Structure 1
Amino acid sequence: MNTSVQVISNFQLTLAFIPVVVVLLMMLHWSLKAGFAVYALIRMLIQLLLVGYVLTTVFAAEQSWVVMLVMFIMVSAASWIALGTVQAQRRQLYPLAFLSILLGGGLTLMLVTQSVIGLSPWFEPRYMIPLAGMIFANAMNSISLAAERLSAELARNIDYLSARNEAFQAAFIPTINSMLAVGLVSLPGMMTGQILSGVSPITAAHYQIVVMCMIFGGSGLSIILFLWLAKARFS
């Protein structure tokens, strides 16, 4: 099996923007807000190019403190972004979101990297950082949904336990849907990347199963911790 990765030239990369330009032109034609979409595209380009250079440096350094610093920044950013759905309470809830993602996602990450995969060294950045990104990003989205639903339910004068249950179920919908759709509707990013790089589909499937369990556990624990910690703030 070919294990080499097809290199994408700059010219080939520009071809990927053809459908992007078509969509932007249609948005302009329909008098939609194309400006924000352009901003998102520019930000995406800058962020991905920057992270490419940063990760190259991090991978070359192979220092545990560098990896831990990167993950601390990831958790900090994820916690702030997650609370964008509850702007008025963002600062008050930030410590709760940070602790929930750190513990819920972090403990799951440690279990997977140290016991399931068995990284050597334990902080191997080529595994640790991408896996951490998957966990923290999904935990971020889950807490964002949980915070919005919890706030909305409590605003209707629903008792906390009922609001908590509604918030958990709403926040967990994307995770459940992804579990139901994987393999039938979509091949997830990690599995697709491994297959494209020449890894056996069976091996890629094993890794994806680990990833899906990791996301399920990390997101679920983060939601549970957030809702548990938030009780003192809302009760």
Structure 2
Amino acid sequence: MNGNTSNKTGLVISAHSADFVWRSGGAIALHVARGYKMHVVCLSYGERGESAKLWRQAGMTEEKVKAVREQEARAAAEALGASIEFLNLGDYPLPSNSDIIFRLADIYRELQPSFVLSHSLHDPYNYDHPRAAHLAQEARIIAQAEGHNPGQQIIGAPPFYCFEPHQPEQCNWKPDVFLDITEVWDKKYAAIQCMQGQEHLWEYYTRVALQRGVQAKRNIGITSAKNIVYAEGYQSIFPRVTEDLA
């Protein structure tokens, strides 16, 4: 653990109730292990567009789908050590309006996150994902504004990282950060297994983690003694401010 992290918080804004698991479960578990409080905000349950397996069951309703999705996501968050909340905004399409942005801005101000994780800014396969990212970014800006709800504590400038989309080449997503999650892979995979409604993605995201692990190992040098097996990729939005380039 580097320094005192007991009062630090990380915020994850997920369009649907499973996205945070596939794309940032390792980062969540890793930072929890280092003393951070990690909080996940699920904008929707993904009840319409992300729950095909559930809808194939006889007698299924939207409320039943939401209940199952919430149960799965809560179990996954518990496996990762994170707190979680559900805004239940609906998906396909995910709505966007000032009330939602202000609600997210309130969450920013309450949590004062040290960093934020959300979706890529482009995704031609799923418009809910970039919409979530834009909501998260706009709320971040408003939470910094002195004139929004004067008297409240504003936030600083938490780094904003876009986690990996399902088809990165089509989403103009290029990772510039590789996070070694080898030590917490068992926790991430336990969370992945909670998502019974999307079992077809378990193997896919295991392969993604292994591939990013190879790339992470390569970027620290093949002679490094560090044995990276699993990693997650992130694309940063804002420049990194540092005192040296080592």
- TM-score, normalisation: structure 1: 0.30
Larger radius of gyration: 1
Per residue, is there more strand in 1 or in 2?
Answer: 2
Per residue, is there more helix in 1 or in 2?
Answer: 1
Q: Which has the higher contact order (CA 8 A, sep 6+)?
A: 1
